[in-house]
Chains A and B, each alone.
Chain A
Amino acid sequence: MISGTGITKTYRQRGNVLGGRDVRALRGVDFSIPKGGAVSFIGESGCGKTTLGRIIAGLETYESGEIVIDGTPMSSLRPKRREAEFRKIQLIHQDPYSALNPTRTIHQTLEAPLALRARRTGRPSSWVDDRAEELLSLVGIDPGYVLGRYPHQLSGGMRQRVVIARALTVDPEMLVADESVSMIDVSMRLSVLALLKDLRERLGVSVLFITHDIATARYIGDEGELYVLYRGQVVERGLTESVISGPVHPYTQSLLSAIPVLHGLERPGRERVVPTEALDERHADSGCLFARRCPFRTERCTAELPELMRVEEPPIGGLAPLPEAPGAAPHEHACFHPVRRSVIPEEAA
């Protein structure tokens, strides 16, 4: 179980001709990723989802807040011990083309971390090769075919599987997949998502899935949770199916409305909202961060900052809430005027 409370991060920019400014990448984010669970962070570029993913993987510092891995607060540990804890969390890069060293064969790529591990745990060196083959089979590629090859000889989908295999060399508890299918051809995208789902089920690895394509978040398995980030703040969260079928925050509704409709196969959602494009976010806001882009804003929105609150019962907007799994996080939102809207495409008759 990996959780965080009140994580904040500000990127300080030095002044240039355009004037310096600080970018508040994260404004106090809470999250919790259960063991073997699947959590997705979604939002536009610049919403802080990648920064948060990197912080969780131990690759980025944060100013305040606390990350707790298996009950141990990370701030209480010495750097060496902290590093070991963060090794349980492995990041899978977006670009499988640049994530692998082009001058190393796949065998060499996998051998390095495995040999280190063998030395540390006193395993014989024969274990290294066996384990490399085992891991490649686990991610669904033929070890005989790839081991001797270089990255440029493999397709994007295969490279991404090699990257996943490399992450698995340290027996991680969690994989952080940052846009890891966006550069893979559509016909094979699902197979990588299916692999992540499969690793969850077979190894109990939890998956943190970071994407701007909400539809793919549905494919990493059941009882997944979705966090919608906007300008460094979680504006909505809940079970993936609950958020997708009945989004409450206008920003989530905009994101879902922007997904293209497969005309002929689908009809546009009944309450689809017209999304407003990102604005210049340089000047400071009072009140709700989304207010200036929000089609439903009122005076209160520009004066006060809404905090995360539970979706009220009885259901708002006439839609019945999905039954919540016991122990699962409730559907929450940060909006003064919550209305569940049905914005996603419906199956055409």
Chain B
Amino acid sequence: MTMNAPRLLRRSRPAGTVSGGAVPGGAPRPDAGPPPGVRVRDLTVVYKTPLGELPALGGVSLTIDPGTITGIVGESGSGKSTLALSLLNAVQPPGRIAGGSVEVDGLGDVLKLKGDELRGARGRHLGYVFQAAQNSLNPLKTVGKQLLDLGRSHGVDDLAALVRDARALLERMGLDGARVLDSHQHELSGGMRQRVGIMLALVLNARLAILDEPTTALDMITQATILRIVREVHKERGLTTLMVTHDIGVAAEVTDRLAVMYGGRVVEHGPTMDVLGAPSHPYTQGLIRAIPRLSGDPAEARALPGRPPTLGTLPTQGCVFRERCPLRMEVCETSAPLPVRREERTVACHAREPYASAAGRGEHA
């Protein structure tokens, strides 16, 4: 099987060298349709623990419009990575998807897919860039060989074309495609590995890209470059992109829409500019005030009191944020607030029902 790997990788090289910088690496293939939309409904994921099954996601509903870049932000334990894995139907034991649906245009309900169907969907429809692209590559194989493995496992007939596409994508991201395909992971820098991760996620022409903490552990300048590439590739290939991050700044820099998660729930969702400019949920407000910033009075920044809940400390009834909430009311103890949509913004908070869209402006202007 692997006998012809070096030949395939070598054969593709002159072609790319001749076409030079004019490789249309950013463009999707002609058969690509419009970018897919995603509808997550009542998604519940539980983890088995010595204390019984505990919910990591407690009935999340989220609509992702086709062609947008949506940021999913939250602290550790907010359920953001679990949500991202659920979109691939890839939650591993001791986790279990207990209910709900994930509808992706052109695929149907991902949670109903099994076996070969599911394997085919991952890669061809759903591209996943792993949290530690630093560590998600095989240290024993060159990037090119891993690419061929990927092609074979997805039944790609024209492996030479796959290699050409991969080279074009890498070159689009500012790398020397031939050199990178010939390299082992230890020969690549963090920023280069992250780009290899993006290439492997998109090379089979996936149209829904899910990036899990794509810039964690990268330097500031490398981070800025990766974020620019994500934005450009998103546009050129006509993707729907989801970016999971703990860093609101990273999300602010690239996304159109922002979903803020806390304790396994989406507490606020709306256009990024609006959510940052006038946050409505008290958690979003607190989180934004807690960001160390370059401008403004340092004395105005405040840490949120308390700490994020873990699976074990998550309240079983009422609002998950009430322990740290300045607007806590009696009703918050007993009933979980439902997401309420007003125009472009969805907020789940008793104190904001019906919420005033300019509530946070005074404090943050």
A190–B303 CB distance below 8 A: yes
Q: Is B189 an interface residue (CB 8 A)?
A: yes
Q: Which residue of B lies closest to A241 (CB)?
A: B298
User: In the complex, A216 Cα to B292 Cα: how many Å?
Assistant: 5
A75 to chain B, nearest CB (A): 34
Residue of B225, B277, B295 near A264 (CB, 8 A) is: B277
Q: Mark A185-227, 1 if CB is under 8 A from B, else 0.
A: 1111111011000000000000000001111101100000000
Q: Which residue of A lies closest to B228 (CB)?
A: A274
Residue of B191, B223, B272 near A263 (CB, 8 A) is: B272
B221–A190 CB distance below 8 A: no
Q: Is A232 an interface residue (CB 8 A)?
A: no
User: In the complex, A45 Cα to B223 Cα: how many Å?
Assistant: 12
Q: Is A346 an interface residue (CB 8 A)?
A: yes
Instruction: In the complex, identify which listed stretch (A56-64, A76-84, A253-261) lies at the interface while the others stay far away.
Output: A253-261
Q: Is B273 an interface residue (CB 8 A)?
A: yes
Contacts of A214 in B (CB 8 A): 220, 294
With contacts A212-B219, A265-B277, A348-B277 taken as known, whether A278 is within 8 angstroms of B252 at the C-beta atoms is no
Residue of A186, A190, A344 near B295 (CB, 8 A) is: A344
In residues 45-82 of chain B, which contact A (Cβ within 8 Å)?
Answer: 75-76
User: In the complex, A231 Cα to B219 Cα: how many Å?
Assistant: 14
Please report the total number of B residues contacting A with Cβ < 8 Å. Answer: 45
Q: Mark B103-142, 1 if CB is under 8 A from A, else 0.
A: 0000000000000000000000000000000000000000
Q: Is B98 an interface residue (CB 8 A)?
A: no
User: In the complex, A265 Cα to B308 Cα: how many Å?
Assistant: 24
B10 to chain A, nearest CB (A): 21
With contacts A254-B221, A263-B276 taken as known, whether A188 is within 8 angstroms of B304 at the C-beta atoms is yes
B272–A264 CB distance below 8 A: yes
Residue of A189, A191, A212, A262 near B220 (CB, 8 A) is: A212
B296–A347 CB distance below 8 A: yes
Please report the total number of A residues contacting B with Cβ < 8 Å. Answer: 45
User: In the complex, A264 Cα to B360 Cα: how many Å?
Assistant: 12
Residue of A156, A186, A188, A244 near B294 (CB, 8 A) is: A244
B325 to chain A, nearest CB (A): 12
Q: Is B243 an interface residue (CB 8 A)?
A: no
Contacts of B276 in A (CB 8 A): 262-265
Q: Is A155 an interface residue (CB 8 A)?
A: yes
With contacts A185-B75, A187-B75, A264-B272 taken as known, whether A278 is within 8 angstroms of B189 at the C-beta atoms is yes
In residues 284-318 of chain B, which contact A (Cβ within 8 Å)?
Answer: 286-288, 290-296, 298, 301-304, 307-308
A264–B249 CB distance below 8 A: no
B292–A187 CB distance below 8 A: no
Contacts of B252 in A (CB 8 A): 260-265
User: In the complex, A244 Cα to B294 Cα: how many Å?
Assistant: 7
A186–B220 CB distance below 8 A: no
With contacts A191-B303, A215-B292, A347-B295 taken as known, whether A186 is within 8 angstroms of B219 at the C-beta atoms is no
Q: Which residue of B lies closest to A217 (CB)?
A: B292
Q: Which residue of B lies closest to A44 (CB)?
A: B219
Contacts of B76 in A (CB 8 A): 156, 185
A256–B294 CB distance below 8 A: yes
Contacts of A265 in B (CB 8 A): 252, 276-277, 288, 364
A200 to chain B, nearest CB (A): 14
Q: Is B250 an interface residue (CB 8 A)?
A: yes
A213–B308 CB distance below 8 A: no
With contacts A258-B223, A261-B253 taken as known, whether A190 is within 8 angstroms of B302 at the C-beta atoms is yes
Q: Is B227 an interface residue (CB 8 A)?
A: yes
Residue of A189, A344, A347 near B292 (CB, 8 A) is: A189
A266–B295 CB distance below 8 A: yes
User: In the complex, A214 Cα to B308 Cα: how many Å?
Assistant: 25
Q: Is A28 an interface residue (CB 8 A)?
A: no
Contacts of A260 in B (CB 8 A): 223-224, 227, 247, 249-250, 252-253
Known: A264-B275, A265-B252, A345-B295. 9 other contacts (CB 8 A): A189-B303, A262-B248, A263-B253, A264-B252, A264-B273, A265-B288, A275-B225, A277-B221, A347-B295
Would you list the 4 A-B pairs with minimal beta carbon distance, nearest first? A264-B276, A264-B277, A260-B249, A191-B303
